Chain A
Amino acid sequence: MIDNLITALGAEFVQLSLTPIVIGTLAAIACALPGNFLLLRRQALIGDAISHVVLPGIVVAFLVTGTITAVPMMLGAGAAAIIAVVMIEIVKRLGRVEPGAAMGLVFTTLFAAGVLFLEITDTSSVHIDVQHALLGNLESLIWFDAEGWGSLLDPAALATLPPQLPRLAVVLVGIGLCIFLFWKELKISTFDAAFAGAIGIRTRVLGFALVVATAVAAVAAFDAVGSIIVIAMFVCPPASARLMTNQLARQVGWSVVFATISAILGYVLAGYGPGWFGSPYAVSAAGMIATVSGVILILTCLFGPQRKRVGQQAEA
C-alpha cells in the first residue's frame, strides 16, 4: 500500500502530473476568486462571454504578429475582451436590449468571427485550433527536466517549468492582492451599490475593474486549460460556496477550497480513473475538472447549510 503510494507519487508523478495539477489548481482559483463577486452581482455569465471572446483575440493577435508567443496572445485576448464589453454596452444602449440578449449576441458573433478567421487563414498549421481553444492542453504541460521531488530545489530544472505555471502564479497573486486591497469597497458596492456610491466609492470604475480582472484570469487560464475550465470555475465553486455560508469572506474561502478540490480530483480522475476500469487511455482533464465542480455544486444544492433563500417564503 505504502509502496504503491510512493510509486504513485514518485519521480514520474513529478514529471508528468505535478505541473498540470498545480497549473490547473492555480487557474481554478484565479477564476473562482473574481467569480464570487460576479455571482453576487448577477454577472455570472460575463465569464462565459469573455472566455468565448478570447478566441478571436488570440487569432487576430496571431495574424498580426505571426507568432504564438505569450505576450501578443494575451494582449490580443485582453483587447478582444474589452471590445466585447464595450460592444455589449453599445448594443444594450442602442437597441435598449436586455443585458442577456446583448451579451449572447456579442459573444456568439465574436466567437463565430474567431472560428472563421481560423478556418480561412493559415493558422491551422499552428497549434491553435478550436479544440485546443475549448480544451486547452493541460495534459501536455509536463515538466521534462524533473527527476523527482528533489528537482523542486534545483534551479536548472525549475527554469524548465512550463511557462504557464509562473504566469498563472503571477496572475493569481495579482488578483488575490487586488481583492485583498479593495475588499471593503468590493464588498459594499456588491451588496449595496447605491450606498457605496453615496459614501464615495466609484462603483462603475470598480465594476469595470472587476471585469478586467475577470478577463485577465480568463486569458491567463485559457492558454493552459482551455475555456471549459474557465467558464466552470467562474461559476461553480463560487455558487457552491454561496450555499455554504452567509459571509462573504467565508464564501471566498469555500470557493477556493472547492476550486482546488475540483482541479486536483478532476485531474486525478481523468488521468488515473480510466485505469481503474482497465482502460489504458486517459480522458479529458479539462472536462473532468468541470464535471467534478458540477458534482460538488449538486451536493451543495442538496445539502449546503445555506442553500435556501432567506427573507422569502420557500416556494411550494
Chain B
Amino acid sequence: MGFGDYFISALFLQAGYNSALVAIGAGLLGLSAGSAGAFIFLRKRALVSDAISHATLPGVGLAFIIMVAFGSDGRWLPGLILGSAISSAIGLLMVEWITRKTRLTEDAAIGAVLSVFFGFGIVLLTVIQTMSSGRQAGLENFLLGSTAGMLISEATTIAVAGAMAAGFVFLLRRPMTLVAFDPEYAATTGVNVRNIDLAMMGLALIVTVIGLKIVGLILIVALLIIPPVAARFWTNQVGKMIGIAAVIGGLSGYVGAVLSAAHAALPTGPIIVLVAFGFFMISALFSPLRGGLASALRHQRFQLRVHRRQGLLSLARREPIYDGLTIRILRRAGMIRADGVATARGRIAAEKAAHDEARWAMARRMLPDDSTIERYDGLTPIERMMTPDQIAEIDRMIQNAQTTQGAKA
C-alpha cells in the first residue's frame, strides 16, 4: 500500500485498531490542548507551559528508576505519566514561588525552571542508561514523541485521558472564560481568580503529561500555543475563539498522527506541530477578519475609494486630473470620456460628492467635538453616519451661509 492510500485509509480509521486509537487519542489531546491553550493565551501566560513541559523530564526519569527498583521493567505508561505530573507540578510551583518571593520576573523564572529541570532530567537519563536493566529504550521518545510501536494499552490510556481532559475543559469553560477575559470583573462576581488560574495551569499540566508520548515534551507547548494564536485571527469573541482553537488543535493532532502513521520516517511530534503551523498560516493569510489577504484587499479598496472621491471632487471643481490611477478608475466607472471630459453620469456623481463634502465641512464647523466627526474617514457619505434630522439642520446652515454670502456680494 502506498503512502497516499495508507494516509486515506488511516484518515478514515481503516488502517488498524491501534493506529485508529492513536489518531483519536491525538485528536482528543489536540482538542483539549487547543482549548486549554486558548485560556492561557488570553491570560498572557503562554510560555509558563514551556516550563511545565520541560519540567516533566526528571519525573519521567525518577518514575522509571523507582519502578525498576521495585522490580518492574519501568516502562508502565501510567506510572511515567504520574511521575511527570508530579515533577512538572513542582516546576510550576517553583515558577510561582520565584516570581512571588524574589524580584525576578516571570520570564526569568520560566527560563530558569525549564533549563534546570530539563538538565537534571538529562542527568537522570544518563543514570538510567548505565543501569543494569538496559531496557530504557523508548524513554528518549518522550523528548520528541513517537507513536510507532505504541502498545494498545498505551493508546487506550492516552485516548481516555484525552477525553477526560476535554471534558474537564468543558466543565470549567465558564469561570475560565471569565477569568481569562476580564479577571477584575470575574473577581467582583465572586469567582476565585487564583483557584481558576491554578485550574488553568493544572489543565495545561494534564494536557502536557498526556501529550508526552505522542508529541514529546519539547514540542507539546506548541500545541498549547499555536491553535489559539491561529484562532485569534478568525474572531473577536472569546467563546468562539476557544471553540476554534479546540477544533484547530484537534485537527492538528488527528491529521498529524495519521500522517506520521502513514510514513515511518515522519516523526509524530514535529509533524503534528507543523500541521498546526499550517493552520496558523492559513488563518494568518486568509481569515476575513484579520488575515493578511483581507487587510491587503481592504487597503486596496480604500485606496480606490480615495482616488475615486478625489477624482470626482476635481471634476466638480472643474480641475484637470493628472493622476493615472484616478483617470483609470473614473473611466472604468463611465464617469469620464477618453479625453477626460466628464460624462452625464460623472457630472451627477461629482455634484453629489461635492455636496457631501460641503455638508461634512459644515458639520465639522457645527459640531467640532462630535464623535461622528472623529470617526469620519473622509469617504463615507454623510447619510450613512448622521440622522436625517441632523442633515436637514446642516443643509439649512449651508443655505443660510450661502444667502449671507450672496447678501454680502
- A178 lies within 8 A of chain B by Cβ: no
| A294 to B122 alpha-carbon distance, docked (Å) | 14
Chain A residue at minimum C-beta to C-beta distance from B118 = A228
A161 within 8 A of B: no
Question: Chain B contacts of A283 at CB under 8 A?
Answer: 123, 126-127
Q: When chains A and B are docked, how far (Å) is the Cα of A28 from the Cα of B397?
A: 76
Is B125 a contact of A231 with CB atoms below 8 Å?
Answer: no
A234 touching B226 in the complex, CB below 8 Å, given contacts A243-B104, A310-B103: no
Task: Say whether A101 faces chain B, with CB atoms less than 8 Å apart.
Answer: yes
B126–A287 touching, CB < 8 Å: yes
Cβ < 8 Å to A, chain B residues 273-292:
273-274, 277, 280, 284, 290, 292
* Cβ < 8 Å to A, chain B residues 143-157: 143-144
CB distance from A296 to the nearest CB of B (A): 10
A-B contact count (CB 8 A): 205
Residue of A nearest to B233 (CB): A95
What separation, in Å, do the CA atoms of A306 and B280 have in the docked complex? 43
Q: Judge if B267 is at the interface, Cβ distance under 8 Å.
A: yes
- With both beta carbons as reference points, the residue of chain B lying nearest to A242 in the complex is identified as B104
Other-chain contact of A109, B130, B226, B267 (Cβ < 8 Å): B226
Q: Which chain B positions have C-beta within 8 A of A101? A: 41, 44, 46-47, 225, 228-229
Whether B273 contacts A301 by the Cβ 8 Å rule is no
Which residue, A47, A109, A232, has most C-beta atoms of chain B within 10 A? A109
> Counting CB contacts under 8 A, is A3 at the interface?
no
Question: Is the pair A109, B222 in contact by a Cβ cutoff of 8 Å?
Answer: yes
B116 touches A119 (CB 8 A): no
Which of B105-113, B199-207, B301-309, B325-333 is the interface stretch?
A: B105-113
Kindly state whether residue B193 has any CB partner on chain A within 8 Å: no
A108-B226, A242-B103, A287-B120 known; A47 vs B270 contact (CB < 8 Å):
no
Question: 0/1 per residue, A88-114, Cβ < 8 Å to B?
Answer: 000100111110111111001101110
Tell me if B169 is interfacial: C-beta within 8 Å of chain A.
no
The answer, yes or no, to whether B62 is at the interface (CB within 8 Å) is: no
Q: Which of B74-82, B94-102, B312-320, B353-361 contacts A (4 or more CB under 8 A)?
A: B94-102
Q: How many residues of A contact B (CB 8 A)?
A: 67
Near B by CB (< 8 A), chain A positions 287-312 give 287-291, 293-294, 297, 301, 304, 306-310
Is B115's beta carbon under 8 Å from chain A? yes
- Assess the B47–A104 pair: CB atoms within 8 A: yes
Known: A91-B284, A97-B232, A270-B123. 19 other contacts (CB 8 A): A42-B108, A100-B44, A104-B46, A105-B226, A108-B226, A112-B274, A115-B270, A119-B267, A134-B122, A232-B116, A236-B115, A236-B116, A279-B130, A287-B125, A289-B119, A290-B116, A290-B120, A293-B115, A297-B116
The interface of chain B, by Cβ under 8 A from chain A, is 41, 44-47, 50, 97-98, 100-105, 107-108, 110-112, 114-123, 125-127, 129-130, 140, 143-144, 218-219, 221-222, 225-226, 228-229, 232-233, 265-267, 269-271, 273-274, 277, 280, 284, 290, 292
Q: List 23 A-B contacts (CB under 8 A).
A: A42-B105, A44-B108, A44-B111, A97-B232, A100-B47, A101-B225, A105-B229, A108-B221, A112-B219, A112-B274, A113-B270, A120-B265, A131-B143, A232-B112, A236-B112, A236-B115, A239-B111, A283-B126, A287-B118, A290-B116, A290-B119, A294-B112, A307-B101
